[in-house]
Structure 1
Amino acid sequence: MRGVDASGAGLSDRISRQLESAIAVGLLNDGDKLPPENVLAEQLGVSSITLRQSLAEMRLKGLVETRRGRGGGSFISGKALATPEQLLSEFRRRSPEDLRDLGDLAATVAAGVGRRAALRADEQDLRRSRELADRFARASTAEELRRTDSRFHISLGVAAQSRRLTNATIQVHSELAALMWIAGPSAGSVKTASEEHDAILDAIERRDEEAADRLSAAHFERESETLLDFFLELATTTPEEA
């Protein structure tokens, strides 16, 4: 089985999940054209054959569509993003323990990211993260909140100069972001989250590792509690009432 996982279906599945996570956090959006296969395969560190297998899986799921002719290629499909109704249905199927566990993971990853970003971030990293924090503060729809929140935290992973922490952040947010802002601004306080983003960035900018660690963890601990409160609120209503 190890051989299959290293060179066959297992690897193509991993690449599919990687691309699906990029869609979930808004790094890839509806209508985006993917790079040519040879370029994308090189970027992902896999063979063209493995990439084709991954894209075939995604086409079957309706996440990617292929267009022929001039200007053709592989494009992210409008079906790639779950509808609000689908997200709400998925949210209802979760358990409080699962949501708490997801929040614990997010807080742990974010703390490591914050600490290392305080050590390693350069001016360009900080400018990019500030820009994304500002975009989040101006967001007004659930989709904008999901995308800008994810991109902000992923930018901190990049600032931490750790590929593994960045990938861990992407994986966490592929689950968390859509759930956190499932009902738009009412599902969580944009103002509070924005203030926390700014505080984290301030700590990183002044190279305060302890504060960046603590504030990053506290940010997700609060968001986890918000999710749990929303879950309990939904538990007292029927799907029709929600």
Structure 2
Amino acid sequence: MKDAAESSLGFEPIAPSRAFEEIAAQIRELVASGRLKPGDRLPAERDLSAKFKVSRNTLREALRALELSGMIELRKGAAGGAFVLPGSSGVVVNGLRDLYHLGAIKPEDLTEARVWLSQIVVRVACERLTEEDLAALERNVELAAQATKAGNFALRAELHQQFHNLLAAATRNPIITITMEGVLEVMREFIKTIGPSDNAYTLPSRRRLLKHLRARDADAAAAEMTKFLGRLQANYLDLWNSRKR
């Protein structure tokens, strides 16, 4: 791992009020400017607290906030410290999940957003997916069929979610991929609430969609996905509304 050169980073003393936020803001700015890079280790707590002219407790509060945001990782031990992370989708996914549990995202918002996002995904995937992508999608559908036949509904649900993530990854756009992952994780929480349900139309729709994707027919692929999700989401919302009665 690379050690960030303390003297070159230019940390500045900060005002006591909301000190941990100012510390976190300075570190974020150093990452944004490229002066701190993924893999860099921040100076030791003692040195950082002296540079910022704050207590070590205040510094730790700032570092914990940065860790929760996915900016750094705090490691223990002789080779430990605060390390800049390369970034992951976890923060976005957890944020969307929290918003759902807090009631800021309603089930109808969630299902509607999923339909819109999936329309974009299939159109872009038609242009960008590779033979390897198609093979992975086809393998996923076959595994889902096997899980359905075996009555392994937990595995089937996992594979169905993975199908959408594979399709999103085929767009080669990390924002779309992360957004889809977040939406699907919230959908997982939603489905836990309404309970699992079975249908006979998912696998046939998947196979029709694969045919359109292989033909690079974006209009047909988008129409198939929209029809499938519209039917699925209507069923989910019926179950949700029935639960509330």
State the TM-score, normalized to the length of structure 2. 0.58
Say if 2:180 is the partner of 1:169: yes
Q: How many residues align?
A: 169
For residues 197 and 144 of structure 1, do their structure 2 counterparts lie closer, same or farther at Cα, with a shift above 3 Å needed? same
Q: Could you tell me whether the CA contact under 8 Å between 1:118 and 1:207 is conserved in 2?
A: yes
**Equivalences for residues 39-188 of structure 1 within 5 A:** 44=87, 98-139=106-147, 140-180=151-191, 183-184=195-196, 187-188=197-198
Q: Which runs of 5+ in 2 are unaligned?
A: 1-20, 29-61, 72-79, 95-99
Shift in Å, 1:13: 2.8
2:217 counterpart (208, 216, 219) = 208
Distance 1:128 1:2 in 2: 46
Equivalent residues of 1:102, 1:176 under 8 A apart: yes
One-letter amino acid of the structure 2 residue matched with residue 106 of structure 1: R
Q: Which runs of 5+ in 1 are unaligned?
A: 17-36, 46-50, 59-89, 237-242
Asked whether the equivalents of residues 135 and 148 of structure 1 are also in contact (C-alpha less than 8 Å), the reply is: yes
Q: Give 1:67's aligned residue.
A: none
Whether 1:12 and 2:79 are equivalent positions in the alignment is no
Q: 1:11 to 1:173 in 2, by over 3 A?
A: farther
- The alpha-carbon distance between structure 1 residues 102 and 126, as it changes in their structure 2 partners (threshold 3 A), is same
Give 1:147's aligned amino acid: E
Q: Hey, which bits of structure 1, 4+ residues long, moved more than 6 A?
A: none
CA gap 1:102/1:4 in 2 versus in 1, 3 angstroms:
same
Q: Which has the larger radius of gyration?
A: 2
CA shift in 2, pair 1:44/1:188, >3 Å: same
| 1:221–1:205 Cα change, 3 Å | same
Superposed CA offset, 1:45-66 (max 9, x none): 7xxxxx9xx9xxx9xxxxxxxx
- Give yes or no for contact 1:157–1:169 (8 Å, CA) kept in 2: yes
Aligned equivalents of 1:138 and 1:148: distance in 2?
Answer: 11
* Structure showing the higher helix proportion among its residues: 1
**Which residue of 2 is the match for residue 219 of structure 1?**
228
Measure the CA separation in 2 of the matches of 1:192 and 1:227: 14
Q: TM-score, normalised by structure 1?
A: 0.58
| Same amino acid, percent of matched pairs | 16
- Cα 1:119–1:232 change in 2 (3 A) is same
Q: For residues 101 and 118 of structure 1, do their structure 2 counterparts lie closer, same or farther at Cα, with a shift above 3 Å needed?
A: same
Deviation at 1:218, TM superposition (A): 2.6
Q: Distance in 1 between matches of 2:223 and 2:140?
A: 21
